[in-house]
C-alpha cells in the first residue's frame, strides 16, 4: 500500500468528513423514528394489487390484512406507491444489500434505540417472573405471501418437526436447551403458543427479536417431510433432484436467509417481498400482497413494487456500480476508505452519502487458532498469552485510524462498543497501545529468537515463525487494514501472508479448523445482541471465527467431539450460560474482562463511520443510524416504508 499517497488523500477530505461525523460523538442510534400507531379508519393498496383485485385474481385488501395490523409512522412522509429498486450483491449465499431492503420480520423486533424489544410478527408476549415461560400472541388473520394462514401450527412445525428432528437438527442448539434440557413448546390456541425452559432464560426475547426463529410455512414444507409424506416418495424426489436423502431435499426447499428465500420462488414468506424469479445473475422480488403492515394513513406496505438484485464479481465492481449511479441503495460493502470517491461522484450518480455509525467493536478482528491441529508447534505458540499480547502491541492503531479511517474511528481493543453497560474503560485499552519494544521483549522472553540476519524470528523447531491464511474481503476494509497489520508484525519478526478468497472457501476452512488464523469484522458487540453471540469472547463455530473451533465443538456436543478446553475457557462457558439466564451485567463484565486479560481475539479500530448510499429520490431513510449485524442493518427503521419519490 502506498501510504504516502493515501495520507495525502486523507488530508484532502478529512475536514469534509469530520464535519459530518465525529468519533467523539459516539454512535447515533436514535433518529426521528418509526413506531406503531393507532388503527387507521380505512385501508388503501398499491395500484398493481388493486388491478389484480378488480380482475378477480386477488382477494380484497380487507380480506388480506390481519385483524391486528401493525401501523408504521413514516420517517419523513407518507410514501408513494411504485417503482423498482436496483441493488447488488457480491456473494451468492445471501442477498447483500437486499438483506435489509427485503425486510427482516421476526417474532419480535429491536426498536430503533437498539435496546427495547417491541412487537413484530407476534403482537405481544409475556415473560414469567421466573423467566422460565414465554407466552407469545400472534396476529389473528395474518397470512403467508401465498394467502395461507400464519398460525401457531407454523411455530409448532418449526419446533417439533425441524428442531427436534435428528435428521434436520443432529445436535440441538444450546439456545433451545437452557439447563441442557430441550425447551417445551405448547400450542394454547391458533394464535397463542408458550415456551417453557428448565432454567431461567432472559435472553429468549433477544433471540426471537434478532432472528426469524419459529416462522416456517408448515402448509408448504410438510409435503417434503416424512411425518406428512411417504418416505419412499421423498427419497425418490431427492434422487430426481440429484440428492441422496430426504432431509437434503427438505433443506433445499426451505433454504432461506432469515425468511428470505434464497433460491426457491415457491417458498412462502411473511416478509414485505417474495422471490418472484431466481437467477445466479439477477433475481427479482415483488411486493407481498398479504403483508401485514400499513402506514398511519392506512396504506398497505411496502411502497416499492419490485426489487432487482444483481450479482457482481467483487467489491470493486460493487463500488463501480455505486459511483456510476446504477444502484439505488448500498451499505453492505461500502467503506469510509472510499468516502472521497462516493462524494466526488454523488451529483453525477444522483445519490447522497449518509454517514451512519458502524456499531462495531473493531472494524477488523484478528484470531489466532489455538486449536490448530495441522501445526502443533504454531498452535502452542498461539496459546501463549505473551504471543497474543505481542501481536496486539505491535499494531499501530493510531496510524491505521488516520490512514484508513480518516481519524474518525476509535483505536481500541476488541470489546463491546463505548456506552455499553457491560464494559469498563480498561477493556478497550488493554494491550492496545503501540509498543513494539515491549512486543519484542515478550517474544524474546518466549525464546523466539531472531535468525542470524535479524530478518525474522525462529520457532522452537528452528523454522521461520510465520503463516499464511485466507480471508474474505467484505463489509469493512479488511485488506487495507491487514496490509498495515502484517507490516507491523513483520517488524517484530513475524512473517504473516494474506490470501484473498471467496466466503465459501474461507468459511469452510474456518469451520473445519484448517486455518491457522482468521479475520472478520467485530460486530456482535452491541448490548441488544452481544449477549447472544459466542464469537469473539466465548468459543463458537462459524465461517467468521477461528480462534478455537475444537473447544467450541466440545461445548456444542457436550464433550462428544472436539477437544476439551482448559479451565479458563470452561469458565467462559459457565459465565455465558449465566448471562443467558439473567442478562445480569456481572456475567457480561466477567466475560469481557477475560477478553481484556487474555486477548482471545485482537481488535484494531472500532466505531468508524459507515457510508450509506441512497439515490436522491429514495426517501424515508433516516439521516443518522447504526449499520451493524447486531440490529440487522436497516431493520429497526422499517425499510418497507422506504419509497421512490416521483415528480
Name the residue range of residue 579's domain.
362-606
Residue 372 sits at φ, ψ, to 5 deg, of -70, 120
Same domain for 269 and 312, yes or no, is yes
∠ at Cα 294 (292, 298), nearest 5°? Answer: 135
Q: Residues 346-371: pLDDT tens digits?
A: 999 999 999 998 899 999 999 999 99
Residues 6 or more apart whose CB falls under 8 angstroms from that of 146 comprise 220, 268, 290
16: pLDDT confidence band, cut at 50, 70 and 90? very low
**136, β-bridge pairs:** 125, 193
Same domain for 543 and 447, yes or no, is yes
Q: Residues 443-465: pLDDT tens digits?
A: 999 999 999 999 999 999 999 99
114: pLDDT confidence band, cut at 50, 70 and 90? confident
Q: What integer best gives the mean pLDDT of the chain? A: 91
- Cα–Cα distances in Å, from 639 out to 143, 279, 317, 548, 620? 20, 24, 25, 37, 8
Same domain for 437 and 560, yes or no, is yes
Angle between helices 567-582 and 585-598 (to 10 degrees): 150
Same domain for 83 and 191, yes or no, is no
Answer yes or no: is pLDDT of 17 > 50.
Answer: no
Place of cell 498495515: 484
Same domain for 592 and 444, yes or no, is yes
Segment 63-70 shows an average pLDDT of: 96
Same domain for 215 and 329, yes or no, is no
628: pLDDT confidence band, cut at 50, 70 and 90? confident
Same domain for 276 and 373, yes or no, is no
Same domain for 172 and 59, yes or no, is no
Q: Residues 169-195: pLDDT tens digits?
A: 998 888 899 988 999 999 999 999 999
Same domain for 166 and 276, yes or no, is no
Place of cell 475536514: 15
What pLDDT is recorded for position 561? 94
Number of structural domains in the chain: 3
Sign of CA dihedral 252, 253, 259, 263: positive
CATH number, residue 140: 3.90.76.10
CATH number, residue 306: 3.40.190.10
Segment 164-172 shows an average pLDDT of: 94
Residue with more model confidence, 120 or 38:
120
Q: Provide the whole-model pTM.
A: 0.84
Residue with more model confidence, 152 or 119:
152
The residue from 237, 258, 279 where one domain ends is 258
Q: Residues 304-351: pLDDT tens digits?
A: 999 999 999 988 999 999 999 999 999 989 988 899 999 999 999 999
Segment 81-103 shows an average pLDDT of: 90
Answer yes or no: is pLDDT of 519 > 90.
Answer: yes
What pLDDT is recorded for position 428? 98
Torsion of CA 517, 520, 526, 531, to 10 degrees: -40
Segment 598-602 shows an average pLDDT of: 98
Segment 613-618 shows an average pLDDT of: 98
Residue 292 sits at φ, ψ, to 5 deg, of -105, 15
Answer yes or no: is pLDDT of 481 > 50.
Answer: yes
422: pLDDT confidence band, cut at 50, 70 and 90? very high
Same domain for 316 and 390, yes or no, is no
- Cα–Cα distances in Å, from 309 out to 46, 279, 285, 320? 22, 9, 8, 16
∠ at Cα 274 (268, 280), nearest 5°? Answer: 110
Answer yes or no: is pLDDT of 15 > 90.
Answer: no
Region of residue 599 (phi > 0: left; psi between -120 and 50: alpha; otherwise: beta)? left
Helix (H, G, I), strand (E, B) or coil at 595: helix
Q: Residues 330-340: pLDDT tens digits?
A: 998 998 889 99
Same domain for 383 and 472, yes or no, is yes
∠ at Cα 70 (68, 73), nearest 5°? Answer: 150
Segment 204-218 shows an average pLDDT of: 93
The residue from 223, 241, 258 where one domain ends is 258
Q: What's the grid cell of residue 261?
A: 428465500
Answer yes or no: is pLDDT of 93 > 90.
Answer: no
Residues 6 or more apart whose CB falls under 8 angstroms from that of 34 comprise 72, 73, 74, 75, 112, 637, 638, 641
Place of cell 488493554: 430
CATH number, residue 428: 3.10.105.10
The residue from 258, 273, 299 where one domain ends is 258
What pLDDT is recorded for position 37? 55
CB 357 within 8 A of CB 28: yes
Q: Which residues of 86-118 are buried (b: 16+ CB within 10 A; e: fewer)?
A: bbbbbbeebbbbbbbbbbbbbbbbbbbebeebe
31: pLDDT confidence band, cut at 50, 70 and 90? very low
Same domain for 405 and 320, yes or no, is no
Amino acid at each position: 500500500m502506498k501510504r504516502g499517497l493515501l495520507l495525502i488523500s486523507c488530508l484532502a477530505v478529512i475536514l469534509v468528513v469530520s464535519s459530518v461525523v465525529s468519533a467523539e460523538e459516539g454512535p447515533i442510534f436514535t433518529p426521528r423514528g418509526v413506531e406503531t400507531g393507532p388503527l387507521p379508519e380505512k385501508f388503501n393498496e398499491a395500484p398493481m394489487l388493486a388491478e389484480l383485485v378488480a380482475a378477480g385474481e386477488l382477494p380484497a385488501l380487507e380480506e388480506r390484512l390481519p385483524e391486528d395490523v401493525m401501523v408504521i409512522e413514516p420517517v419523513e412522509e407518507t410514501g408513494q406507491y411504485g417503482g423498482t429498486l436496483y441493488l447488488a450483491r457480491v456473494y451468492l449465499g445471501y442477498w447483500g444489500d437486499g438483506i435489509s431492503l427485503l425486510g427482516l420480520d421476526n417474532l419480535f423486533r429491536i426498536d430503533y434505540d437498539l435496546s427495547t424489544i417491541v412487537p413484530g410478527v407476534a403482537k405481544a408476549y409475556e415473560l414469567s417472573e421466573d423467566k422460565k415461560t414465554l407466552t407469545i400472541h400472534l396476529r389473528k388473520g395474518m397470512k403467508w405471501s401465498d394467502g395461507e394462514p400464519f398460525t401457531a401450527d407454523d411455530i409448532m412445525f418449526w419446533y417439533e418437526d425441524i428442531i427436534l428432528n435428528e435428521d434436520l437438527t443432529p445436535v440441538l442448539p444450546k439456545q433451545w436447551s437452557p439447563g441442557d434440557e430441550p425447551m417445551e413448546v405448547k400450542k394454547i390456541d391458533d394464535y397463542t403458543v408458550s415456551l417453557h425452559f428448565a432454567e431461567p432464560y432472559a435472553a429468549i426475547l433477544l433471540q426471537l427479536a434478532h432472528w426469524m426463529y419459529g416462522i416456517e410455512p408448515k402448509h408448504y414444507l410438510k409435503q417434503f417431510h416424512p411425518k406428512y409424506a411417504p418416505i419412499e416418495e421423498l427419497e425418490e424426489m431427492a434422487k430426481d433432484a440429484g440428492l441422496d436423502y430426504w432431509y437434503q431435499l427438505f433443506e433445499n426447499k426451505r433454504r432461506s436467509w432469515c425468511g428470505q428465500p434464497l433460491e426457491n420462488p415457491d417458498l412462502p414468506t411473511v416478509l414485505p417481498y417474495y422471490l418472484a424469479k431466481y437467477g445466479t445473475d439477477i433475481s427479482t422480488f415483488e411486493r407481498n400482497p398479504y403483508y401485514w403492515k400499513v402506514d398511519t394513513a392506512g396504506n398497505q406496505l411496502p411502497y416499492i413494487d419490485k426489487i432487482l438484485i444483481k450479482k457482481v464479481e467483487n467489491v470493486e465492481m460493487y463500488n463501480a456500480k455505486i459511483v456510476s449511479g446504477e444502484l439505488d441503495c448500498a451499505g453492505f460493502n461500502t467503506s469510509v476508505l472510499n468516502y472521497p470517491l462516493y462524494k466526488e461522484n454523488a451529483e453525477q450518480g444522483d445519490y447522497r452519502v449518509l454517514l451512519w455509525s458502524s456499531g462495531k467493536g473493531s472494524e477488523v478482528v484478528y484470531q489466532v487458532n489455538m486449536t490448530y491441529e495441522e501445526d502443533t508447534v504454531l498452535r502452542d505458540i498461539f496459546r501463549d498469552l505473551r504471543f497474543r499480547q505481542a501481536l496486539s502491541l505491535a499494531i499501530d492503531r493510531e496510524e491505521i485510524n488516520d490512514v484508513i479511517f480518516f481519524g474518525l474511528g476509535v483505536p481500541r481493543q476488541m470489546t463491546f462498543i463505548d456506552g455499553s453497560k457491560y464494559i469498563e474503560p480498561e477493556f478497550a485499552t488493554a494491550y492496545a497501545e503501540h509498543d513494539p519494544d515491549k512486543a519484542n521483549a515478550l517474544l524474546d522472553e518466549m525464546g523466539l529468537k531472531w535468525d542470524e540476519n535479524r530478518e525474522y524470528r525462529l520457532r522452537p523447531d528452528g523454522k521461520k515463525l510465520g503463516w499464511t491464511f485466507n480471508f474474505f474481503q467484505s463489509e469493512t476494509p479488511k485488506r487495507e487494514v491487514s496490509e498495515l497489520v502484517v507490516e507491523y508484525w513483520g517488524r517484530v519478526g513475524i512473517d504473516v501472508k494474506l490470501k484473498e478468497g471467496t466466503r465459501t472457501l474461507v468459511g469452510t476452512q474456518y469451520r473445519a479448523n484448517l486455518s491457522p488464523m482468521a479475520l472478520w469484522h467485530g460486530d456482535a458487540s452491541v448490548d441488544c445482541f452481544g449477549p447472544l453471540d459466542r464469537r469473539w469472547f466465548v468459543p463458537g463455530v462459524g465461517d467468521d471465527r477461528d480462534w478455537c473451533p475444537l473447544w467450541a465443538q466440545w461445548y456444542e456436543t457436550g464433550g462428544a467431539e472436539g477437544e476439551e478446553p482448559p479451565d479458563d475457557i470452561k469458565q467462559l462457558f459457565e459465565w455465558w450460560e449465566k448471562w443467558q439466564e439473567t442478562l445480569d451485567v456481572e456475567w457480561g463484565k466477567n466475560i469481557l474482562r477475560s477478553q481484556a486479560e487474555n486477548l482471545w481475539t485482537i481488535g484494531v479500530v472500532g466505531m468508524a463511520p459507515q457510508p450509506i448510499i441512497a439515490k436522491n429520490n429514495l426517501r424515508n431513510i433516516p439521516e443518522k443510524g447504526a449499520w451493524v449485524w447486531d440490529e440487522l442493518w436497516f431493520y429497526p427503521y422499517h425499510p418497507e416504508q422506504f419509497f421512490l419519490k416521483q415528480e
